[in-house]
Structure 1
Amino acid sequence: MERDLISHLAHGDHPISAPVSEGNLERLLTRAKLPPQARILDLGCGEAAWLIRALTLYPDATADGVDISEHALSGAAEEAARRGVADRLRLHHSPAADHTADVPYDLVLCVGSTHAFGGLAETLNAVRPRLRPSSGLALIGETFWERPPSPELLSLLDTKLDDYADLAGTVERMEGAGFATVYGHTSTRAEWDDYEWSWTGTLTRWALDHPGPDGDTALTAARGHRDVWLNGYRDVLGFTTLLLRTTT
């Protein structure tokens, strides 16, 4: 069973592929205060929940969503049609790092997808040239350490301590790359729990409704994910989404 299909199924009841509530997603997009006829880009858009909401909030905007998952993009196209914004949304099946455009964007998002570029620093370097000079905004969602992780957790997550910073350090890393923070949101424990229970529960329900090899694979994935969360990174990993503007 394909890994991206498992992810697609798990996000069925929580298409925002991050521990962010719908209300806070809308608040972040509203704070962007985009200009008329804004152009928006989401690098690693998944189900395109951010873009679809942005196109609803800004009725004359257009958007491009880039992702490597055909399943997620198919779901995004269906939801965009249902919401009546499909004519203003272009979806691209491509690695985020490979997407190019001739015209800059007023808002570039990369929320929970910095791994597509190799990390936060590489993501910020990739986002900058895609922004409209002087006025373009970036919305970056990144993991941080709520408290120092144990060596066992680092091994379990296959990560290194300096892959992430604490919250203050994460802000410093973004601003040190030539951005100013104009707004932000730090995900609450309730948002994390809702995201994780939805991810594991939705996939578990699908598995129970589809007995057989695929169901067994999905159930194993759900239980494995839940175990790493509950016995590993819960209250250790945090998540922040910052609205940034270039300073240099």
Structure 2
Amino acid sequence: MNRPWYEHRLADALAGVPDLHRHLDRPGAAIADLGCGEGWSTIALARAYPGATVHGVDPDPPSTAAAAGHAVAAGQTERVTFRTGDAATALPEAAYDAVFAFECLHDLPHPVEFLTSARRALRPGGVVVVMDEAAEDTFRAPAGDVERLLYGFSTMLCLPDAMSHEPSAATGTVIRESTVRDYAARAGLTDVEVLPIEDFGFWRFYRMRPR
């Protein structure tokens, strides 16, 4: 579902944030893509930043196997690699200039630990970029169309998946900005801003940095 956005809109969206774009566009930049799934976001990052190496990580073996195949088909095997594992075990410390997490934070049973591992993986000056659902700031009734869609996704898939692990934060798809900021602060990422990326589906981009 997200593949067209990554392939056709992600590069322009990131280029529209000049300081982030310069950070990613430096020769030799190292980027991690956590929860990469079948690797479409990872490959899109590599295409957008030809001077960077991009490392995709996902806990699902069939997904990382498919991602490796997609990288071969895209001709991106020299700068794109994939590994099966979770953030806590698959990320070396102080290894990346940027760590991305595309639409996966709300699915995780342990989002704070996930972001803590992402923070530890940053080089000095590095950033964590999270793309997740642009839920409303607060609950209101009647809910708008997007909010209703997010609740449908949450009750049918994302929330039960997160709660299949114990203990679990049980966040669900309706992840509000205040929740993201709370998770980030508890992970030591106390400098959080919403990036000025608009008209990108029903997603919101956050840049997170340790102070």
TM over 0.5: yes
Distance 1:180 1:73, change over 3 A: same
For residues 90 and 162 of structure 1, do their structure 2 counterparts lie closer, same or farther at Cα, with a shift above 3 Å needed? Answer: closer
Larger radius of gyration: 1
Check 1:170–1:139 CA distance in 2 against 1; reply closer, same or farther (3 A cut). same
Asked if the contact 1:136–1:245 (Cα under 8 Å) also holds between the matched residues in 2, the reply is: no
Identity of aligned residues (%): 24
> Residues 11-62 of structure 1, C-alpha deviation per residue, up to 9 Å, x if partnerless?
5xx537xxx5644422344333212111011111111112211111221211
- Is 1:25 matched with 2:33? no
Distance across 1 between alignment mates of 2:68 and 2:197: 28
Distance of 1:85 and 1:71 partners within structure 2: 19
SS of residue in 2 equivalent to 1:123: helix
TM-score, normalization: structure 2?
A: 0.67
Residue 66 (structure 1) shift: 0.9
SS in 2 for 1:92: strand
Question: How many equivalent pairs are there?
Answer: 182
Cα deviation for residue 171 of structure 1 reads 6.0
Partner of 1:101: 92
Are 1:15 and 2:23 counterparts? no
Moved more, 69-78 or 164-173: 164-173
Find the aligned partners of 1:47 and 1:162 in 2 and give their Cα distance.
24
Which structure would you say has the larger RCO, counting Cα contacts within 8 Å and 6 or more residues apart? 1
Tell me if 1:81 matches 2:78.
Answer: no
Shift of 1:121: 3.2
The alpha-carbon distance between structure 1 residues 36 and 245, as it changes in their structure 2 partners (threshold 3 A), is farther
* Structure 1 pair 149–120 and aligned structure 2 pair: CA distance change class (3 A): farther
User: Which SS does the other structure have where 2:31 is aligned?
Assistant: strand
Query: 3-state DSSP class of the match of 2:182?
Result: helix
The alignment partner of 1:126 has SS state of: helix
Question: Unpaired runs of 5+ in structure 1?
Answer: 1-10, 193-238
How big is the alpha-carbon RMSD for the aligned residues of Structure 1 and Structure 2? 3.5
The answer for unaligned runs of 5 or more in structure 2 is 142-150
The answer on whether the counterparts of 2:87 and 2:118 sit within 8 Å (CA) in structure 1 is: no
Per the alignment, residue 139 of structure 1 pairs with 129
